[in-house]
Structure 1
Amino acid sequence: MGMYREVIEHEVFPALGCTEPIAVAYAASLAAAQLEGELERVAVLADPGVFKNGFAVTVPETGGLKGNVIAAALGALVARPELKMEILSGASEELLRQAKLLVERGEVSVSLAGKEGGLHIDVTVHRGGGVARAVLSGGHTNLVRLERDGEVLVQVERDSAGEENHRYRAELKEMTLSSLISLLDEVNDDDLAYLKRGVEMNLRIAEAGKALTKVGYYVEELVRKGFLLSDVVSSSKILTASASDARMAGLSFPVMSSGGSGNQGIVAILVPYNVGLFFRIPEETILKSIALSHLVNAYIKCHTGDLAPICGCAIAAGVGAAVAIVYQQAGADIEKMNLAVNTIISDIGGMLCDGAKGGCALKVVSSTDASIRAAYMALSGHGITEEEGFVGASAEETIRNLSRITDDGMSLADDTMLSIMLEKRRGAPRG
């Protein structure tokens, strides 16, 4: 399998709901499916990023309930791991009733695990007198351990690069913008069809989100009242915000993710799609630009980690969208792409991630706006250069610098944010 398809298979997939609580539900379903009988208890250990992102986001198929706790309970009751990140599409009113009872009785817990060096979810399920355990690590669907009554059914050791069975990431991390562009030669008709499916999927959830009186609605109202121009920038912001509104509100519409994130998928796909449509770029070029957007998003996540203290929509998906727009109008112009990457990272590279929730749509709007602005500055030959701040001489160097800031400079940011969030929720179910 070529690098392009490795990335798409592992990083770009449909997801129903915020990917972190859904990954918790998926892990719970994996464990529960190993047993039969009545579900008795579910215990989840989650890394800080998963814990944070599942803390306050609405979970689909729950009637508006929020958090990892209800996701774990419902995922274990569905127990159909073949549904993967659409696991809650198998829910029903009866299963939801049972999940609520388990939560009310205190039989479902979500605890904060130590820092495992990336996404890590460890779920133990007690069912019918038996015990099963499932561990996801290094990716939302990356199963590294599965146990039933003490018997190890699946065990995947970390390789020497520490990539948790995602060996392609080690190679991807060492690539350049030029080599990422060369991967587009692997794209065939089936790949284009899958990319188009992602566009259609994310357009549907955006349309559903427009019915909500949330961020997308108010951006559109600013246009109606004349505060914003009715242009491609505004229409792109309305589109992406509406899709994020729907997703964060728990509407039962799947989204095509990117880098394992639904909101990042919204930005990485809909921004280049809408801009390309406005400028009448041929459909195949638009779809290939979206493929490049996914690749850049995945490349950056190799450097910053799956769940960084800074917003992935800003520093990964927004960057991918900016590069995609440059590709649509200037082809493989690396100089212009470097300018676009440096400009958007200089602009919104410090945007904090304080977990998944309704306010993420605001960050999606900022990312959309910044990506289009950076792309068109770059297309005009203007952008931020290495003379300024932490920006490097190339896109790759800037991304490495950003990774240093994330790993070293912001090492306490997640702990501090989690402390604040937990203080706000004293007395309420955590996780």
Structure 2
Amino acid sequence: MNKEAISELLMEEMQIAMGCTEPAALALAAARAAGVLDDEVRSIHALLSANIIKNAKAVSIPNSGGMRGIKASLVLGALGGDPAEGLAVFSHLAEGTPERAEKWLAEHEVELGLLEGEENLKIDVTLGGRKHVSRVVLEHHHNHISEVWLDGERVEFNPLAEQTVETDEPELTLNMIFDYVEGEIPQKVRDVLEEQIRCNMAIAEEGFKGGYGLDAGLTRRSFDQGVRSRAVSAAAAGSDARMAGSPLPVVINYGSGNQGITLSVPLLEYAREYNIPEEKVLRSLCLSNLLSLRVKRGMGKLSAFCGAVSAATAAVSSICYMLGGSREDVYRTMINTLGNTAGIVCDGAKSSCALKIVSALDSAFLAYELAQKGKYMVPGEGIIREDQEETLDLYAKLGLKGMQETDAVILKMMLAEE
């Protein structure tokens, strides 16, 4: 992958989102369908891939007055969402939308179905009106609408190029990443990195105000006031606020706000503590985004592999780099972390994601300290190989293939509650 391709990857994957990205994707699809329908919405039917159901089921929705879940996301998007806002669709709901959505849900039933055998990020929503029927298919990426239909006729078709599907993406190696970070970073990438700093630190501060979810970040901060504690607790606080419906935006990474928060906020806390020059901070943050993508891209956006692990791995490895660590130090920190926490599963987006962020970051900091002492996992331990890229590919394969059955069992358990 060349420099231009890496820049485009960052621009594509570092998007602004409000609230959890799966409810936002549902609302975006419904809003687009409503715009095409141009009619009173009388029925909503949605077919969803397993991980959309898993991750949209239990989180609160921003600017909704406390509404949560799949059906509420669809109705809010259909009745008052603006598709032009993308994954920030909840940022500008039409006035009175939550009240109208509550009334609609009291009078109508949203029909939901599971898309079996499909990739793990797909939404197929159909809206019925008085005279017309519209349908929108969103897939592969949280904001990629591939098909738009009106009254049985397809009016838009935007397929992704075959090579852009996650499991068949161009190679992104550690050396490519370091060469990019140490070269001339384009201004457009710098701009989005600076926006990530502003947005993600703001929601972390919001989480520290308390009253969000489990208040994991606020509680973790009470343990001690050292920089490590602040780094871990601030990331958890950002997740607390985000999953509980804070209207503050987040710059995400690979479709996940929690990953965007986890890979950025700890690094920024360390930068502030050690007065790191702005240029070094920006390059280190760029490294963190790319390292997280390197770990996660091979397993797809949604899987049973907890994204907090890849993000925490990237964050602390990039802190290592920012504080003067070598490329080898960075890799050893990555391997020590993945070799410990790669088994943490994703059982859906919810308030307790903040707890997994704490666990993943605490493990990553231990991994960093071990690496600094020259202690690290070696080939032959677990799935670690001599070749660095092969090792990272195996962890991706673990998330993509090895956890498929785990993902299916988790979903069955969650749906049994319904």
TM-score by length of 2: 0.93
Residue 175 of structure 1 corresponds to which residue in structure 2?
172
Please say if residues 119 and 306 of structure 1, whose CA atoms lie closer than 8 Å, have aligned partners that are also in contact.
yes
Please say if residues 58 and 66 of structure 1, whose CA atoms lie closer than 8 Å, have aligned partners that are also in contact.
yes
SS in 2 for 1:386: coil
* Cα-to-partner distance string for 1:218-239 (whole Å, 9 max, x where unaligned): 112233xxxxxx2111001121
Residues in 2 aligned to 1:190 and 1:145: alpha-carbon distance in whole angstroms: 29
Aligned residues: 412
Is 1:240 the counterpart of 2:235? The answer is yes
Residues in 1 aligned to 2:203 and 2:374: alpha-carbon distance in whole angstroms: 35
Please say if residues 30 and 75 of structure 2, whose CA atoms lie closer than 8 Å, have aligned partners that are also in contact.
yes
Residue 370 of structure 1 corresponds to which residue in structure 2?
363
Q: CA deviation at 1:160?
A: 4.1
Residue 396 of structure 1 corresponds to which residue in structure 2?
389
SS in 1 for 2:323: helix
Is 1:359 the counterpart of 2:360? The answer is no
Residues in 2 aligned to 1:409 and 1:387: alpha-carbon distance in whole angstroms: 19
SS in 2 for 1:296: helix
Q: CA deviation at 1:5?
A: 2.4
Which one-letter code corresponds to 1:219 in the other structure? Answer: R
Please say if residues 2 and 186 of structure 1, whose CA atoms lie closer than 8 Å, have aligned partners that are also in contact.
no
Unmatched runs of 5 consecutive residues or more in structure 1: 224-229, 427-431
Is 1:187 the counterpart of 2:182? The answer is no
Q: CA deviation at 1:344?
A: 0.6
* Cα-to-partner distance string for 1:99-134 (whole Å, 9 max, x where unaligned): 112222333233221132231111112234211111
Between 121-130 and 200-209, report the one with greater CA deviation. Answer: 121-130
Q: CA deviation at 1:19?
A: 0.4
Is 1:62 the counterpart of 2:64? The answer is yes
Q: CA deviation at 1:92?
A: 4.5
Q: CA deviation at 1:410?
A: 2.0
Between 45-54 and 88-97, report the one with greater CA deviation. Answer: 88-97
Residue 341 of structure 2 corresponds to which residue in structure 1?
348
Please say if residues 11 and 189 of structure 2, whose CA atoms lie closer than 8 Å, have aligned partners that are also in contact.
no
* Cα-to-partner distance string for 1:30-55 (whole Å, 9 max, x where unaligned): 11111212111222211111110001
Q: CA deviation at 1:158?
A: 5.1
Residues in 2 aligned to 1:155 and 1:382: alpha-carbon distance in whole angstroms: 53
Residues in 1 aligned to 2:80 and 2:227: alpha-carbon distance in whole angstroms: 42
Q: Following superposition of structure 1 onto structure 2, how do residues 76-115 of structure 1 map, counting pairs within 5 Å?
A: 76-92=78-94, 94-115=96-117
Please say if residues 22 and 142 of structure 2, whose CA atoms lie closer than 8 Å, have aligned partners that are also in contact.
yes
Give the 3 Å change call, closer, same or farther, for CA 262–160 of structure 1 in structure 2: closer
Q: Find 1:310's aligned residue among 298, 305, 308.
A: 305
Residues in 2 aligned to 1:211 and 1:276: alpha-carbon distance in whole angstroms: 22
Which one-letter code corresponds to 2:217 in the other structure? Answer: G
Give the 3 Å change call, closer, same or farther, for CA 207–27 of structure 1 in structure 2: same
Is 1:155 the counterpart of 2:157? The answer is yes
Residue 205 of structure 1 corresponds to which residue in structure 2?
203
Please say if residues 52 and 120 of structure 2, whose CA atoms lie closer than 8 Å, have aligned partners that are also in contact.
no
Is 1:260 the counterpart of 2:255? The answer is yes
* Cα-to-partner distance string for 1:120-154 (whole Å, 9 max, x where unaligned): 11111223421111111111011211112222222
Residues in 2 aligned to 1:394 and 1:325: alpha-carbon distance in whole angstroms: 23
Identity %: 31
TM-score by length of 1: 0.90
Please say if residues 81 and 90 of structure 2, whose CA atoms lie closer than 8 Å, have aligned partners that are also in contact.
no
Residue 131 of structure 1 corresponds to which residue in structure 2?
133
Residue 406 of structure 1 corresponds to which residue in structure 2?
399
Residues in 2 aligned to 1:68 and 1:299: alpha-carbon distance in whole angstroms: 30
* Cα-to-partner distance string for 1:175-197 (whole Å, 9 max, x where unaligned): 21011122222413443232122
Please say if residues 341 and 395 of structure 1, whose CA atoms lie closer than 8 Å, have aligned partners that are also in contact.
no
Residue 276 of structure 1 corresponds to which residue in structure 2?
271
Between 378-387 and 270-279, report the one with greater CA deviation. Answer: 378-387
Between 393-402 and 45-54, report the one with greater CA deviation. Answer: 393-402
Residues in 1 aligned to 2:239 and 2:60: alpha-carbon distance in whole angstroms: 12
Residues in 2 aligned to 1:221 and 1:348: alpha-carbon distance in whole angstroms: 24
The Cα RMSD (Å) is: 2.0
SS in 1 for 2:125: strand
Which one-letter code corresponds to 1:250 in the other structure? Answer: G
Residue 43 of structure 2 corresponds to which residue in structure 1?
41
Residues in 2 aligned to 1:297 and 1:13: alpha-carbon distance in whole angstroms: 15
Residue 220 of structure 2 corresponds to which residue in structure 1?
219
SS in 1 for 2:8: helix
Please say if residues 40 and 129 of structure 2, whose CA atoms lie closer than 8 Å, have aligned partners that are also in contact.
yes
* Cα-to-partner distance string for 1:397-428 (whole Å, 9 max, x where unaligned): 222212332233322111211121122x23xx
Please say if residues 14 and 192 of structure 2, whose CA atoms lie closer than 8 Å, have aligned partners that are also in contact.
no
SS in 2 for 1:383: coil
